Amino acid sequence: MAKRKKKLETKYLVRRTVFLFLLVLLLFGLVWGLWRVLGGEGEKEDRDSSSSRGESQPAPESPAEPEPSSDPEPASDPEPVSQPEPDPGPAIDETDWRLVLINPTHAIEKELDMEFDEVQGYKFDKRIAGKVRELIAAAKEDGYSLAIVSGYRTMDRSRMLYANKIAEYKAMGYDEATARVEAAKWVAPPGTSEHHSGLAMDIVSGDYYTKYSDLVEEFENEPEAVWLKENCARFGFVLRFPKDKTAITGINYEPWHFRYVGEEHAKVIMEQGLCLEEYLGETD
């Protein structure tokens, strides 16, 4: 009897051991599976490196290492992959002379340093004079005669123009403070005029002054103004004070005032209907 009991006990012990073994195996399988699912990629990399480590070939490994470590720079080449993403547009470099912002909140303290060149007797920053000529020539080819009426302006000249405008308003009965505010909507106070940059021009139709006595918004309906708005970006210019941006620019709509910013920036600004402040993120 004792022998039979012992045999039974042994049988149970074997069964229990087998059962426990299977349970441990199952648990191990579960944990391994989970680990794979959660850390799949990291694990793969780990495996690669551990396998090469496991190969116990220290000699081939160390010469091979400098290669991957010197690679990282060319390896970041796969950037073409990010190219299909939405075009972020040209990079905006705040030190780019073409993107200088001069407005009521970004006044210059002293004259900018630049070389000049003249077009139709008006001064411009030498670097854009060629663009001004190209634009005028292209308009002529399309049958439109354009006349520049303002180019580079010194701070002294702005001082005089601003004072004259204030006097005009005061003559209409405005008090000094109101006259200054109203005048500033038409003539930028010294230091705040974009004409100081040598990158801006007021340009109208050749026969403008046979129809108008001053620069007026109605110019927008003239075919020359339509042509300018449609074609300015090709030569790197933008309509600087759009009709629907006066709240941001603080300047009245000026269908005659164009500003050079460079072709790539002009294209985006005109296509998206922005003003320069918006484009540069300087809207406060």
- What residues act catalytically? 254
Nearer to Zn ion, 23 or 186 (CB): 186
Q: Does 165 bind Zn ion (CB under 5 A)?
A: no
The site that binds Zn ion (CB under 5 A) totals a number of residues, namely 2
- Selected range binding Zn ion among 101-109, 118-126, 156-164, 202-210, rule: CB under 5 A: 202-210
- Selected range binding Zn ion among 63-71, 84-92, 132-140, 195-203, rule: CB under 5 A: 195-203
Among 153, 257, 259, 265, binds Zn ion (CB under 5 A): 257
Minimum gap (Å) between residue 180 Cβ and Zn ion:
19
Nearer to Zn ion, 196 or 257 (CB): 257
Beta strands in the chain (DSSP E): 116-119, 122-125, 146-150, 200-205, 237-239, 257-260
Structure tokens at 227: 């042509």
Nearer to Zn ion, 139 or 203 (CB): 203
* Contact by Cβ (8 Å): 207, 146: no
Minimum gap (Å) between residue 200 Cβ and Zn ion:
6
How far apart are the C-alpha atoms of 170 and 182, rounded to whole Å?
10
Residue owning tokens 């069964």: 15
How far apart are the C-alpha atoms of 275 and 28, rounded to whole Å?
65
- Selected range binding Zn ion among 110-118, 157-165, 204-212, 257-265, rule: CB under 5 A: 257-265
Minimum gap (Å) between residue 79 Cβ and Zn ion:
41
How far apart are the C-alpha atoms of 120 and 146, rounded to whole Å?
10
DSSP 8-state symbol, 203: E
Minimum gap (Å) between residue 81 Cβ and Zn ion:
45
Residue showing the smallest CB distance to Zn ion in the complex: 257
Cβ-based neighbour number of residue 282 at 10 Å: 15
Quick one: residue 260, left, alpha or beta (phi over 0 = left, psi -120 to 50 = alpha)?
A: beta
Q: Does 202 bind Zn ion (CB under 5 A)?
A: yes
- Selected range binding Zn ion among 52-60, 154-162, 221-229, 255-263, rule: CB under 5 A: 255-263
Binding mask 207-246 for Zn ion (x = CB under 5 A): ----------------------------------------
Nearer to Zn ion, 216 or 264 (CB): 216
Residues in the chain: 284
How far apart are the C-alpha atoms of 175 and 197, rounded to whole Å?
31
Torsion sign (Cα): 223, 228, 229, 231: positive
Nearer to Zn ion, 43 or 182 (CB): 182
* Contact by Cβ (8 Å): 135, 224: no
Minimum gap (Å) between residue 148 Cβ and Zn ion:
10
Helix pair 2-38, 40-54: axis angle to 10 deg: 110
Residues that bind Zn ion (CB under 5 A): 202, 257
